[in-house]
Homo-oligomer: A and B are copies of this chain.
Amino acid sequence: MNTFGTRLRLTTFGESHGPAMGGVLDGFPPGVRLDMARLEREMARRRPGADPLTSPRREADRVEILSGFSADGVSLGSPIGFIVRNTGQRSSDYDSLADLYRPNHADYTYERRYGIRDPRGGGRASARETVSWTAAGALAAMWLDTQGVTVQAVVTRVGAVDAGDVFDLYIRKGDRKAPLVVNPSLRAAMEEEVAETRRRGDSVGGRVGCLVTGLPAGIGDPVADKLQARLAMAMMSINGAKAFEYGIGTAAASSLGSDTADSFALDKEGKVLTLTNHSGGIQGGISNGMPVYFSVSFKPTPTIARPLKTLDTGLHPVTMEARGRHDPCIALRGAAVVEAMTRLTIADMILSSR
On A, residues with C-beta under 8 Å from B are: 1-4, 9, 11-15, 18-24, 26-27, 30-31, 64-68, 70-71, 74, 76-81, 83, 101, 103-106, 108-110, 112-120, 123-125, 129, 157-160, 197, 202-207, 216-226, 228-237, 239, 241-258, 260-266, 270, 272, 274, 278-280, 282-289, 297-304, 306, 308-311, 315, 317, 328, 331, 353-354
Contact = CB atoms under 8 A, between A and B. Distances in A.
A156 to B, nearest CB: 9
Nearest to A351: B354
Contacts of A286: 106, 109-110, 112-113
A280 B9 CA distance: 29
Contacts of A219: 113
B298 A109 contact: no
A117 B76 CA distance: 7
Contact of A13 (B67, B129, B159, B302): B67
A325 to B, nearest CB: 14
B83 A81 contact: yes
A331 B244 CA distance: 18
Q: Which of A9, A18, A68 has the most CB of B within 10 A?
A: A18
Nearest to A15: B67
A175 to B, nearest CB: 28
Contact of A264 (B70, B103, B124, B222): B103
Contacts of A11: 3, 9, 11, 24, 26, 79
Given A30-B115, A77-B116, A311-B265, A124 B256 contact: no
A213 to B, nearest CB: 17
Contacts of A222: 78, 106, 110, 113, 123-125
Contacts of A249: 242-243, 297
A264 B112 CA distance: 14
Q: Which of A70, A120, A309 has the most CB of B within 10 A?
A: A70
A250 B243 contact: yes
Contacts of A117: 76
B256 A202 contact: yes
Contacts of A20: 66-67, 81
The 3 tightest CB contacts between A and B, nearest first, are: A106-B284, A203-B257, A13-B81
A79 B2 contact: yes
B283 A115 contact: no
A225 B3 CA distance: 8
A334 to B, nearest CB: 11
A27 to B, nearest CB: 6
